[in-house]
A and B are shown apart, each in its own frame.
Chain A
Amino acid sequence: MKSIIKKAITTLLLFASATIHAEDFLIKNATVHTASSRGVLSNTDIYVSDGFIMQVAKNIKLKSKHTVIDANGKHVTPGLINASTQLGLVEIGAASSTVDYSTKNEQQGASFNIAPAINFRSTLMPQNRINGLTRAIVRPAGGTSIFHGQGAAIALLSNEQGLIREQLAQYASYGIAGANISGGSRASAYFILDKALEEANYLRHNRSQYKPGFDWHFSQSLQDLDALKAVLEKKIPLVISVHRSDDILQMIKLAKKHSVRLILAGASEAWLVANEIARAKIPVIMDPILNLPDSFESLANRLDAATILNEAGVKLVFTGIDWQSTHNGYLVRQSAGNAVAYGMPVEDAIKAMTTNTAEVFGIKNYGQIAVGMEADIVVWDGDPLELTTNADTVLIKGINQPMVSRATRLRDRYWDLKDIPNKAFIR
């Protein structure tokens, strides 16, 4: 009983700590990848107070109470963000009772807002954050509609404070996935996307006519068309998964016609039409490690695609790694590292998993090591792109995160394989 009470109190304190004022920190002597126009700063200090970055300079002297984090010989980056995850929407992929990222409800396409389903106490949150991922874009997956619904931005905190913004973007698919859900042809998929946007536009100007009890005839449910209003008003972007180069051009045309803010996702063959994408100022979400011609719409996939797009001036935001981008969302840095190995400048690759993502999705005060930013900071024990590097310290909104996950608990239990019967009593 006593231990239960003790546990309850610690749990309360743990969650309380997230809402009370964060500690002050002084990170000393770091190599700072600012992800800003200041580039990389050597032997630099970062002062964090009240959850924000207050100062970034050499030899900061403080009079107020603070905790020093010695980062001599270490690297600092903004906490990483993965631009395409299902964090909080899945615990175990093959356990359907733990999966909330898609719906079979036919009334819910564009109106499917995943935010209420996010489980901030998921074991995936600590496993990702102790490895340097502090934020994520959480997206729905395809259900019965070509529109998948609305994503959210989160901080990887184990409580509801983690929700930064819901209804952040609308998701849809084109190409093979879009065709499959539309009857088997891209032409049908294009028709459905086009018609839905047209109807949503009509509806937003004539909404007062459509009251409960009225008989209406639209291609989508009324709530789905309502949900597209934010896309048409350019309040949120429309993220379309699309790969083939000519499919990409079709989507650019569609976005232009309906005047929506398009983001291309996946975009295996985007590099073939890099100039067109750059000219239309359309950002691309991609996983640079993907280079397989794994379908007939991804034939031109290649490891230097990110470099080609970057050089053409396309704004890149990274996800990865491969199909493990949720459970191992932190491995976006491995994908980014491969982009660098194939020609992308290091600091551009870091921007593609920090400030670019913040900018593209409209997340304020995050993504750079700069004064006024929320203190999402990772201290790495080496080059942040090297896989032999690990995170030493992770701050999220200025809160120092315990470097513990369910996986580290299992590791510690079995680190020494002696005295097995007593493992059950190791807490």
Chain B
Amino acid sequence: MAITKSFYGRSLSVLVVICGLTACTPETEDKKETETKVRPFPSTYKPIASESFVIEHATVLTGTGRQLEDASVFVENGKIKVVGNNIYVPANTKRYDGNGKWVTPGIIDVHTHLGVYPSPGIESTQDGNEMTAPVTAEVWAEHSVWTQDPGMQLALAGGVTTFQVLPGSGNLIGGRGVTLKNVYARSVQAMKFPDAPHSLKMACGENPKRFYGSKGRAPSTRMGNVAGYRSAWIKAKAYRKEWDEYYESVGSKKEKDKPKRNLQLDTLAEVLRGNILVHNHCYRAEEMLIMIDIAKEFDYKISAFHHAIEAYKVADVLAKENICAAVWADWWGFKHEAFDHVRENAAMIENAKACAIIHSDSAIGIQHLNQEAAKAMAAGNKNGLSLEPKTAIAWITSNAAKAIGVSDKTGSLEENKMADMVIWSHNPFSIYAKAEKVFIDGALMYDRDDQNKQPVSDFDLGIIDPQGERL
């Protein structure tokens, strides 16, 4: 996927060109790759060692639009090796009987606040919204993540293997989001999805203007919101230019003075360089179209609109602009901008050949994303579409992976993808379906039939019964 490749590709190619012109030394190369482009807090995630295995005789939804019957999935070294019927598997490979069961890619949620608004929700754990200024691009959600949020294990039991933690929507630009693997870890770095791009959380509409307006400061209107985004991007553009010119001058006779670093503008400049993906909370159709024009004005790309209640009104535009719409199946009415909800939203987005995603924004919803997708699919079908599980599963797997820039690594059952996958007791679009086994990079991280394979957070230990666990 273009966006993912550009994450390293773009900055490297600039470097190559510059070096070509100036015959730079390794030292200057370092200099060029430091400062604004460097990525601190790198991922230390290591897949848990796993044995090879095969799931046999299962119904397999690949996430690429295919449904295979009586099929096998062979996993080796944490990667998917073969998906298909009558496949060859080395002797002594561990076998899981998938008879009557369904296999899907691991579920991906592009919108959660797990860890930053954890359970229990008490005053000391409200770490998701830095509402001290309308633009806080300098904050990173990962610095708030409490890795012991018991909601993570519950999401795992719902088949969720990857999730994007976003800052809240109180600000116009709320900060960086982070994509995590749903694994137990002592540090957030050890959960960080390797080589996943950061995201930038932006928010349209009621939330920023309500909060800052009530404080008697800008923005207090939607037009104030737009002025706020544009002012930020003007600064970001100038900052990026300053640094890019400095990088270009490094090693030359006219090496420029090193510009002063600014954390907020670091983030925004990386968006302009294409290395951070924009995830934009935006309900109303006209606001989405304004945001698309802002992105064009400042030459950045919007990866997905979130909570896109009115996406169905502009699904053709979203298809043309290649912007995903992440929606709920049916939440509505809590705000005016959520009033024009239709149950067919995701189905209508899909029907317009745009990228539909079902997201949760809820520590309950994230446990049942399969059910949410089922409702959204059925609503479309009731009005005359013929959507099938093989298509709708993409709303919570491959389309989600695309939006967060990891679709070359996970989100579908294809050769050499990470073996992030779920064995379901039934068709996952059934209310009776439960995730029975959940694999992350080929490691069995959750097994409904084996209590010793059900992770327990630190929080859950001894909290109700000193000798027991919470569940």
Interface, chain A (partner B; CB < 8 A): 90-95, 124, 289-296, 298-300, 302, 322, 324, 326-328, 331, 334, 337-338, 340-341, 381, 385-390, 407-408, 410-411, 414-415, 417
Say whether, besides A290-B364, A324-B331, A410 and B375 are in contact (CB < 8 Å). no
Interface, chain B (partner A; CB < 8 A): 119-122, 150-151, 154, 206, 210, 312-313, 315-316, 330-336, 338-344, 348, 352, 362-365, 367-368, 371, 374-375, 377-379, 381-383, 429-434, 459-460, 463-464, 470-471
| Contacts A92-B334, A293-B460, A388-B429 known; 13 new A-B pairs at CB < 8 A | A93-B333, A289-B368, A291-B367, A292-B154, A293-B463, A337-B432, A386-B430, A387-B371, A387-B431, A388-B430, A390-B378, A415-B344, A415-B383
For A417, list chain B residues within 8 Å (CB).
315-316, 352
Could you list some 24 contacts between A and B, CB below 8 A? Answer: A92-B339, A293-B120, A293-B459, A294-B120, A299-B120, A299-B463, A300-B464, A328-B330, A334-B371, A338-B371, A385-B431, A386-B374, A387-B371, A387-B375, A387-B429, A387-B431, A388-B374, A389-B378, A390-B382, A407-B332, A407-B341, A411-B342, A411-B383, A415-B344
For B315, list chain A residues within 8 Å (CB).
417
**Chain A proximity of B366: nearest CB distance (Å):** 10
Say whether, besides A337-B431, A340-B432, A341-B432, A388 and B378 are in contact (CB < 8 Å). yes
Interface centre among A324, A341, A388, A411 (most CB of B within 10 A): A388
For B371, list chain A residues within 8 Å (CB).
334, 338, 387
For A92, list chain B residues within 8 Å (CB).
333-336, 338-339
> Which of the residues B342, B430, B434 comes within 8 Å of A407, measured between beta carbons?
B342
For A388, list chain B residues within 8 Å (CB).
374-375, 377-378, 381, 429-430
Closest 10 CB pairs of A and B: A337-B431, A93-B334, A327-B333, A388-B378, A411-B342, A94-B335, A387-B374, A390-B382, A417-B316, A387-B375
Give the residue name and chain of the A residue nearest to B319 (CB): A417
For B379, list chain A residues within 8 Å (CB).
390
For B433, list chain A residues within 8 Å (CB).
341
**Chain A proximity of B158: nearest CB distance (Å):** 10
A6 to B365, CA, bound (A): 45
For B342, list chain A residues within 8 Å (CB).
407-408, 410-411, 414
> Which of the residues B150, B368, B378 comes within 8 Å of A293, measured between beta carbons?
B150
Q: Are A94 and B336 in contact (CB under 8 A)?
A: yes
Say whether, besides A293-B470, A299-B120, A328-B332, A338 and B312 are in contact (CB < 8 Å). no
A334 to B367, CA, bound (A): 13
Q: Are A302 and B312 in contact (CB under 8 A)?
A: no
For B151, list chain A residues within 8 Å (CB).
292
For B363, list chain A residues within 8 Å (CB).
292, 294
Say whether, besides A385-B431, A390-B378, A292 and B119 are in contact (CB < 8 Å). yes
Give the residue name and chain of the A residue nearest to B385 (CB): A415
Q: Are B122 and A341 in contact (CB under 8 A)?
A: no
**Chain B proximity of A73: nearest CB distance (Å):** 16
Q: Are A411 and B348 in contact (CB under 8 A)?
A: yes
Q: Are B431 and A341 in contact (CB under 8 A)?
A: yes
Give the residue name and chain of the B residue nearest to A294 (CB): B119
**Chain A proximity of B385: nearest CB distance (Å):** 10
**Chain B proximity of A130: nearest CB distance (Å):** 10
A293 to B460, CA, bound (A): 9
A410 to B339, CA, bound (A): 11
Give the residue name and chain of the A residue nearest to B463 (CB): A299
For B331, list chain A residues within 8 Å (CB).
324, 327-328
